[in-house]
Amino acid sequence: MWSADHFDKEIKCSMTDLSSILDQCSDTIFKVSFRKKVDEKSIESILKTTSFNDLKQPASLKKISAELIQGELTEIVGHVIESDNNLGRSVVVDVTQPSSNNIRQVDHRTIEYIILKNVKYSLGKKWAGPEELPLKHPKDAIKWHGSKLAVGNWFSSVQYFKVNTIVDKDNVKVCSPANPSLELTMSRDILEYEMHSAKLYDTEEKLPRTKIVELMTGARDNVLTVKFHTKVKAENVKDILADIKKD
């Protein structure tokens, strides 16, 4: 599983880089630090907790001034459900809050750092490394160090399953592409209420190609089936013509 708390590497990158990284978090759990939008309620809350002595101390005054102008610095642990780089914000599920009130908006322009897939991306200069962000994690490497495990850590995992056997009306046997030889018995309720299918559908809609491309790119970690024409290669054409001549 991926961790929202642990990281082995920290790199500096620009606001644009951070925005792009957040856009690609998808269902993977992450931690993001950013500044909340300044509004009347937040200003009132800050002023209510500010004492006269706070205003006389330079460090406290600087902190209060930043919160009043830039917004309060906060952290969210969650996953992305919608991202709009044009508007510069993402809609995030905050997993630390009750499900009745856990939808938050993150302004890309105020992000301080993101912890994603064992890397902490902090606001700084534009990334000049040879690799694209977010960095690719080696498939054969552990996702975080177990020695750092602590109570309160958050984790997530995305898995895909294929039905091998329908056992009865309540259970099926499934396997994962990561380990196809290992079968698991799974309740059909889990399939029906918690998982998406790449084969089954109730309705069909006709859409222009541009819309279909948008749907496919927006699928992210969701399983899907796509039918398309492969690129024509010269050797394939030669083989087809050769078969026609034989006939």
The total of other beta-carbon atoms located within 10 Å of residue 2's CB is 20
Write down the domain spans for the chain: 2-36+72-156
Q: Specify the amino acid at residue 145.
A: H
Q: What pLDDT is attached to residue 86?
A: 65
Collect the ranges in the chain with pLDDT lower than 70: 85-87, 245-247
Q: How would you label 44-79 residue by residue, b for 16+ Cβ within 10 Å and e otherwise?
A: eebeeebeeeeeeeeeeeeebeebeeebbeeebbbb
Q: What pLDDT is attached to residue 246?
A: 66
Distance of CA 139 to CAs 146, 178, 194, 232, Å?
A: 17, 11, 26, 32
pLDDT in tens, 159-176: 899 999 999 999 999 999
Q: Which CATH architecture has domain 2-36+72-156?
A: Roll (2.30)
Q: What is the pTM of this model?
A: 0.71
Q: What pLDDT is attached to residue 220?
A: 73
Q: Are 111 and 91 in contact (CB under 8 A)?
A: no
> Which residues are CB-contacts of 61 (< 8 A; sequence separation ≥ 6)?
54, 55
For 107, the token pair is 């302004």
Distance of CA 96 to CAs 32, 100, 245, Å?
A: 13, 12, 68
Q: What pLDDT is attached to residue 169?
A: 93
Q: What pLDDT is attached to residue 87?
A: 66
Q: Are 114 and 120 in contact (CB under 8 A)?
A: yes
Q: Are 13 and 119 in contact (CB under 8 A)?
A: no
Give the Cα separation of 43 and 59 in Å (integer): 19
Q: What pLDDT is attached to residue 247?
A: 63
Q: Are 146 and 5 in contact (CB under 8 A)?
A: no
Q: What pLDDT is attached to residue 225?
A: 93
Q: How would you label 86-122 residue by residue, b for 16+ Cβ within 10 Å and e otherwise?
A: eeebbebbbeeeeeeeeebebbbebbebbbbbbbbbe
CA angle 177, 182, 184 (to 5 degrees): 95
Q: What pLDDT is attached to residue 91?
A: 93
Q: Is 5 exposed, middle or buried (0-12, 13-18, 19+ CB in 10 A)?
A: middle
